Structure 1
Amino acid sequence: MTITNNDLLVRLATEADAGPLIGVLAEAFHQGPLADWLIPDPADRRTVYYRYFKDTFYHGLAYGQVYTTSDQTAVAIWYPRLEPAPTDTRNRLEALEHIAGAYAPKFVLLEEMFDAFHPDDPHHHLAYLAVDPTRQNRGIGAALLADHHRRLDQLGLPAYLEASNMRNRRLYLRLGYTAGPTIVLPTDGPIIWRMWRGAPTTSGGRTSFPRTRPRRRSL
């Protein structure tokens, strides 16, 4: 556990944090161009997002690293990707059909695009960073990231993420990420900014954004 940002306590999340943190994820991502594209109806979006982020939270606990703050107002879900990760495509399609119903095709498309353009170089993937909307712009998200960034620098590993709006893109640029080639979602979808925080180098710089060749997925 680490103290950052004027005594903000960052700790690993557990199943006991599920209720508050699923709510933080669903609320933090409820607005924005990606949310509007995935589910145009705000009422439907609230229902589907709760199911989606419930699945996301428990998946993070099982296969990744989930961090929160002492007051449960923020959450970060990281996945160590030290080698290319296989995807259980058929089971994931079934899960998304159950979670998103009529909106499943766009969720499937989004996840397939993210997977196809994911770097192969060893790294940690920041899948989600969410701060309670009533507590945003107070440095909480930056403090949550700084805690993990220190660990990555000690390990000599880079970080990768996908930013879905310009506000988040600017935040990550300030925190030492560089922007790589974008993903443009079809059917009038928004632009996704792929971002990379390189590993420290002996010269004092950081490794550059890796080359990525789109991968094909098949059932």
Structure 2
Amino acid sequence: MASISTNVTVRQATPDDAGRLIGVLAETFLHDPVADWLIPDHDDRRFISYRYFTHIVGHGLQYGHVDMAADGSAAAIWYPRPEPSPAVAADHRVGVREATGTYAPKFVLIETMLESHHPPEVHHYLAYAAVSPGHQGRGTGTALLSNHHQQIDPLGMPAYVHATSTRNRDLYLRLGYLPGPSMVLPDGGPKIWRMWRAPLGITIPASFFTPHLSDR
């Protein structure tokens, strides 16, 4: 397990924090390998990223649980699973299409792929996590995620995440996540790692390690 930075204060975000969190997520996303696949045009990427994460942060504040570093340098959006209600899922799909415009088909495709690989077991899903580029490497991400783990571990609640870069994957490994079969986005897209974290004494479901047809 990774050590937790004692210099990072974590709190639950409120709607008043939305502007700062949108900026953290959007600016971090610009450097993610998936961004190259989703929005190859660099002139469009920042504009679309801010529109997309405006929707994502609003949706997370309404339907999920959003944690943030108190200094505004990091954010994590969690959702309790199983499946969201059809109304919540439909609201999300509409918001994604409106935010991403001509890039919507790829955004819809990746979300469909991720959902098709989602474990059916009850868990907390880390949908998005980001640390501002200028604050990375300081233990901020570790502190942010460990705060949530400390809340769900006593409940025997597992956690699940998709790692979209080797840097993120390595962080999750240090935090006790185990890798399952990965998937590769089509048309030369990057690899995405499925990762599951089970509290001590909780059995990891065998279905998590079963490859899907799109796994490589």
Q: Deviations along 1:138-169, whole A, 9 cap, x unmatched?
A: 00000011111111111101000000011111
Residue 84 of structure 1 aligns to which amino acid in structure 2? E
The residue aligned with 1:34 is 34
Aligned equivalents of 1:181 and 1:123: distance in 2? 18
Residues of 2 paired with 1:40 and 1:99: CA distance?
A: 16
Counterpart for residue 120 of structure 1? 120
Gaps of 5+ in 1: 215-219
- What number of residue pairs does the alignment pair up? 206
Secondary structure of the equivalent of 2:75?
A: strand
TM-score (ref. length: structure 1): 0.88
Counterpart in the other structure of 1:103: 103
Structure 2 SS opposite 1:66: strand
Q: Matched residue of 1:31: which SS?
A: coil
Shift of 1:174: 1.0
User: What is the CA distance between 1:7 and its match in structure 2?
Assistant: 3.8
Correspondence for 1:191: 191
Instruction: Indicate the residue corresponding to 1:60 in structure 2.
Output: 60
Which residue identity lines up with residue 184 of structure 1 in the other structure? V
Checking the alignment, whether the CA contact within 8 Å between 1:77 and 1:126 is kept in structure 2 is yes
State the AA in 1 paired with 2:18.
A
Structure 1 residue 28: Cα displacement:
0.8
User: Which amino acid in the other structure matches residue 78 of structure 1?
Assistant: W
2:158 aligned with 1:153, yes or no? no
Quote the Cα distance in structure 1 between the aligned partners of 2:94 and 2:125: 24
Deviation at 1:188, TM superposition (A): 1.7
Contact 2:55–2:96 (CA<8 Å) still a contact in 1?
A: no
Aligned to 1:166: 166
Q: Does 1:49 align with 2:45?
A: no
Q: Alignment identity in percent?
A: 50
Secondary structure at the counterpart of residue 207 of structure 2: coil
The separation in 2 between residues aligned to 1:132 and 1:19, in whole angstroms, is 14
Residue pair 2:55, 2:95 contacting (<8 A) in 1 also = no
- 1: CA distance between counterparts of 2:7 and 2:95? 39
Q: TM-score, normalised by structure 2?
A: 0.89
TM alignment of 1:133-152, pairs within 5 A: 133-152=133-152
Out of 184, 204, 208, which is 2:204 matched to?
208
Structure 1 residue 210 displacement after superposition: 4.3
Q: Is the 8 A contact 1:122 1:157 kept in 2?
A: yes
> Runs of 5+ in structure 2 lacking a partner?
none
Within-5 A mapping of 1:175-186: 175-186=175-186
- Alpha-carbon RMSD across the aligned residues, in angstroms, is 1.8
Once superposed, which parts of structure 1, at least 4 consecutive aligned residues long, lie more than 4 Å away? 86-93
